[in-house]
Structure 1
Amino acid sequence: MKPFYGKDKPLPEALRIVFLGDSITDDGTYIAYLDAYFHLHVPASRIELINLGVSSETASGLSEPIHPFPRPCIHDRLARALAETQPDWVVVCYGMNDGIYHPLSEARFAAYKDGLLRLLGQIRQAGAKAIAMTPPPFDPASLPDGAKRLLPEGRPESAYSYETPFADYEQVLKRYADWVLSLGEDVADATVSIHDELLAHIAAERAADPAYLSGDGIHPFAPGHAVMAQSILRTLFGIEPEHARAFVTAVDGSAYFELIMQRHRLVSAAWKEHVGHTNPNKAEGALPLAEAKAAAHALEVRIRELAADFKASPAS
């Protein structure tokens, strides 16, 4: 699958991209990196990124018996999400929760495949491009108290959960990721690999520092989100990896990126609660959508001013 845009095909004047996923998307740092890139490099294009990630969510509808509440499922809110946002593209990232931290089961794998295929199909029926990201890897070496929490194969089904995951859960996610990448254009308009890219990033960092922590085993820290953003920029927009990496290095820790993140959190919380979801933990302090958009518009002026400060930097 070729990038949708690149040197020979500039971005359109306006593009609305919705992101659906679990807590990794809910965090949204990778989406904020994309937002920062577009503001800096294609300021004339009105690219709107809407983060509708919901913590604990799945595409499969599965949930561990001891999860504090039944895991939300994207299919419970998909119709409203599509109707309210009217996207041009929808990027989906599911899988981490869909194996429910158990050993591989063909029944659970089938539920994941069915849920993701239905999701992609409904996105296309709504007139949007459907883009599937692989799940990220599970990194047991970064799991707090991993030696105490990781369980070997052969335990009762009820023993496994996000609190006590299967020790080799990464192999489950690898199987899921490989399947996502096998999807053809008859199913998905594009697929984005983040699983293997994140594994390579972790391996490189750990070679330099054996104590390196990529996150908490499930959720990547900001450097992992940067890898995710770079994969999206390369796969969908034809942005050279070296250029994307240099850009992330340039903006990290800057007042510019902090303001991008502030606006992202503000609008994401408002959109998520506006569309609705079944996670009992709601976004604290979420503004009504109209108020959030007005506040975001006010921040936009300052964001564009700060973006101008990076224009002269070759690293940007």
Structure 2
Amino acid sequence: MTVAVPPSGRVLFIGDSITDAGRDRSCGEDLGTGYAMMAAAWFTARHPEHRVSFRNRGISGDRVRDLRVRWETDCLALAPQVVSVLIGVNDTWRRYDRDDPTSAEEFARDYRHILQETRRLGARIILVEPFVIPLDDAQRTWREDLDPKVDVVRRLAAEFDATLVAVDELFQAADVDDRVWTRDGVHPTPFGHALIAQAWLRAVTPTA
């Protein structure tokens, strides 16, 4: 199922550092240097007549609980027609580096809340799977925490009639040295961002 992007519509990318990608937060229109910028650039290059605007509200370090706190100002107040969410790896990471876990139940509760709020807009929703690209045995153990959260995102996509962008599955299936995609197991290289952007673009289509 693809998401129809209307002419002159507004698309919002929101999430953690993977979406943030170094954006200039003093400029509301800066998209950073990651997949959000790449996807917006290619969409506009292919469909310049549609004059779609793109916004990035990723914030490095965010968990889904942080999205819930800022959802009114950073999502609803912008009145986007399409909302693209990528969140979850920090909900896993904090368990291992700070002993501050987020259970799958808590993750689902807060994620469901922001999607329920988004329904008020009548916006179409794109959910991008959280992912990890393990570079060592320690990161491979993260799968026990991340996999249930990926399952949550898949179930919520079905529940809210959202379009799922299955990048966790995509990275796992890519038969190359994982360091092509990441330097630390979490943050994509430019090549990793490009892979996400390509998957995202396959999930959208312009409307006439």
Scaled to the shorter chain, the TM-score interval is 0.7 to 0.9
Aligned residue number for residue 176 of structure 2: 205
User: 1 CA distance for matches of 2:68 and 2:36?
Assistant: 22
- CA contact 1:205–1:212 (8 Å) conserved in 2: yes
Structure 2 stretches lacking a partner, 5+ long: 22-31
Percent of paired sites with the same residue: 25
> Hey, what's the Cα distance between the residues in 2 that align with 1:101 and 1:173?
11
Is the CA contact (8 Å cut-off) linking 1:198 and 1:228 kept in structure 2? no
Aligned to 2:56: 51
Asked if 1:119 corresponds to 2:99, the answer is no
Q: Which of 13, 19, 30 is the aligned partner of 2:35?
A: 30
Paired residue type of 1:93: L
**What's the CA shift string for 1:121-156, capped at 9, x where partnerless?**
111123322221110224234xxxxx7xx4xxxxxx
Residues 131, 188 of structure 1: 8 Å contact kept: no
**TM alignment of 1:1-316, pairs within 5 A:** 2-5=1-4, 12-27=6-21, 28=32, 29-59=34-64, 61=65, 73-102=66-95, 108-141=103-136, 150=138, 167-201=140-174, 204-206=175-177, 214-237=182-205
Aligned length: 192
Contact conserved, 1:139 with 1:214, CA < 8 A, in 2?
no
Query: What's the CA shift string for 1:205-256, capped at 9, x where partnerless?
Result: 22xxx87562211111111111111111112339xxxxxxxxxxxxxxxxxx
2:83/2:126 contact within 8 Å kept: yes
Q: Which amino acid aligns with 1:214?
A: T
* AA of the residue aligned to 2:168: H
The verdict on how the C-alpha distance between 1:57 and 1:40 changes in structure 2, with shifts beyond 3 A counting, is same
- Name which one, 1 or 2, has greater alpha-carbon Rg: 1
Match of 1:256 in 2: none
Bigger Cα displacement from structure 2, 123-132 vs 108-117:
123-132
Q: Do the aligned partners of residues 188 and 97 (structure 1) sit closer, same or farther apart at CA in structure 2, a change above 3 Å counting?
A: farther
TM-score, structure 1 length as denominator?
0.55
Q: Which amino acid aligns with 2:189?
A: F
RMSD of equivalent CA atoms: 2.6
Assess if the C-alpha contact under 8 Å between 1:129 and 1:189 holds in 2.
Answer: yes
CA 56–47 in structure 1, closer or farther in 2 if over 3 Å, else same: same
2:125 and 2:163 in contact (8 A); partners too: yes
SS of alignment partner, residue 198 of structure 2? helix
Question: Per residue, is there more strand in 1 or in 2?
Answer: 2
Contact kept, 8 Å, 1:14 with 1:47, in 2: the verdict is yes
User: Deviation at 1:39?
Assistant: 2.5
The Cα of 1:172 is off from its aligned counterpart by: 2.2
Q: Distance in 1 between matches of 2:75 and 2:37?
A: 21
SS at structure 1 position matched to 2:85: strand
* 1:256-311 Cα shifts (integer Å, max 9, x gaps): xxxxxxxxxxxxxxxxxxxxxxxxxxxxxxxxxxxxxxxxxxxxxxxxxxxxxxxx
TM-score, normalised to structure 2, is: 0.81
1:161-212 superposed Cα distances (whole Å, 9 cap, x missing partner): xxxxx651034223321331233544242221111112223xx222xxx875
